[in-house]
Chains A and B, each alone.
Chain A
Amino acid sequence: MDHRPQAWGRPRDDVYGAYDHSYMQENGPKQNTQQPIVTGTSVIGIKFKDGVVIAADNLASYGSLARFTDVKRLRPFADSSILGFSGDISDMQYLDRHLTELSLSEAYESPDKPRLNAANLHRYLSKLLYNRRSKFDPLWNHLLVGGLDDNGEPFLAAADLLGSTYSAPSLATGFGAMLAQPIMRRYVPDEEAAKKLSREEAVDIVKEAMKVLFYRDARSLDTYSLAVVTKDGVELKEDEKLENQSWAFADRIKGYGTQTV
């Protein structure tokens, strides 16, 4: 038994040989996150007349490997807002814990009603992300925040790893910005169109966009989470399956399935 605290929790020298301390160098240059490791792909969101619909698939990739197929990337906040995470999963988990702490301290100060709405939450997260990138240690995520703003109007906005923010009637992160955003924009080109959109239409548009993403995004999954936020709260379904897939279009396209030529 080695009684020195430095030796605790280390593999025993007499069994495994001397521990290579070069892996745990305390001095020398400090390295921050250089790239995301386990990642989640696109999150998409769309506003409708009395709320927001948001969706993300349940896959966490390790490079090109579909490593974890049951990772929930939508997170409700105080039952009044929804957050969608794409990018690094471990940073998502860090933010998740951080937000749990925040919502607890908020609930402690104001037990009867939530005080931080989606707009407040989005502002806070963007400051958090900007603060981390300013330390050259970014949280490698691209977030969508959905819910209601100060006036009770539908709110949807994005924040990225640089702390940049933007807002639109429909938003998508990652590959979704190229593949899903144009589809959603056909239905809601502006705020007026979003004000006319019904909940059912919004959900159908999102489902359609998720299907297109599964067809064309090689880091995606056919199991996904879908949340609807209205003034009545968050309805989150975490085990949705893509319906009515048709791969007929892929028949003669190179890169889909086995190629004969």
Chain B
Amino acid sequence: MFRNNYDNDSVTFSPQGRIFQIEYAGEAVKQGSVVVGIASKTHVGLFARNAEELSSYQKKLFEIDEHTAIAIAGLTSDARVLSNFMKQQCLGHRLTYGRPMPIPTLVGQIGEKAQINTQVYGKRPYGVGLLVAGVDENGPHLFEFQPSGMTEEMVAFAIGARSQMARTYLERNIESFADCSKEELVKHGLRALKESLVQDKELTVENTSVGLVGLKEGPNGRPSVEPFKLYDGYETKEWIESVSESQGGEGEGETTAAGEGDGMEVDS
């Protein structure tokens, strides 16, 4: 009667040692539209193709604090819970220590919060994946966050539907990211986004968002935070045009997402 007896809750292991509820949550991330993140030595960029929603588009990039922001792929309502939590933690940290929250600390907190949901009966994993971008005293950071609670620091990454194509692009160019200027970073990000588009879709000013946060030269030579800025609509026009002109050799989608698009493999 049941296809699978071991996917009723998030605390039961299958005999093969898998927890299906967590894997299903991972599938929810793959349903969300793609987001890309790239870190250089001075900046981190988040790039998103906003998901269509009847007459409008769903926002994909959210500012958490002056120095950090997230890009979401998956259930928007779960992302709202996590981003509210992150905003509160950042504010609280500013109040008690008088400094912006270090990014690894922040990511560690949501990782812990998400992991608890996978270990307590009656709870469910978050159905959302995040890219967390931010700067702290150690420079720019980009983190990936998964519903399992796993977090990992990345140089560049993409999550969401058909994100494998974007990841392939990023992998091919990974050596160049560290020394990228802000503009170059944006171009790489948008090219990676384009890789993941479906055949007849294009990047337009309506459906593309870019978020940037970084470090700039501050007083007496110390680096200071260049606050997160979200570029929406016509602010992205020039960037989008610049990447559609330079349709060069890099744009070949020669790789196929291994196993993606097919249903996940399940014990029978």
Contacts and interface: CB of A to CB of B under 8 A. Distances in A.
16 contacts: A109-B102, A109-B104, A110-B137, A115-B99, A115-B102, A116-B99, A120-B97, A120-B98, A123-B98, A124-B96, A124-B97, A127-B96, A150-B99, A151-B219, A151-B222, A152-B220
A72 B220 CA distance: 36
Interface of A: 109-110, 113, 115-116, 119-120, 123-124, 127, 150-152
Given A151-B222, A152-B222, A110 B138 contact: yes
B95 interface: yes
Contact of A116 (B95, B97, B220): B97
Contacts of B98: 119-120, 123
Residue of B99, B102, B104 with highest tally of chain A CB at under 10 A: B99
A152 B105 CA distance: 23
A123 B138 contact: no
A115 B137 contact: yes
The 9 residue pairs across chains A and B that have the minimum distance between CB atoms? A123-B98, A120-B97, A127-B96, A120-B99, A124-B97, A120-B98, A124-B96, A123-B97, A115-B137
Interface in B69-102: 95-99, 102
Contacts of B99: 115-116, 120, 150
Contacts of A123: 96-98
Contacts of B222: 151-152
B227 to A, nearest CB: 16
A218 B100 CA distance: 45
A222 B97 CA distance: 36
Contacts of A120: 97-99
A151 B221 CA distance: 10
Nearest to A127: B96
Contacts of A115: 99, 102, 137
A113 B138 CA distance: 9
B220 A151 contact: yes
Contacts of A110: 102, 137-138
A127 B99 CA distance: 14
A152 B219 CA distance: 11
A152 B104 CA distance: 24
Contact of B95 (A109, A127, A151, A152): A127
A152 B224 CA distance: 13
A110 B99 CA distance: 15
Interface in B93-132: 95-99, 102, 104-105
A109 B101 CA distance: 12
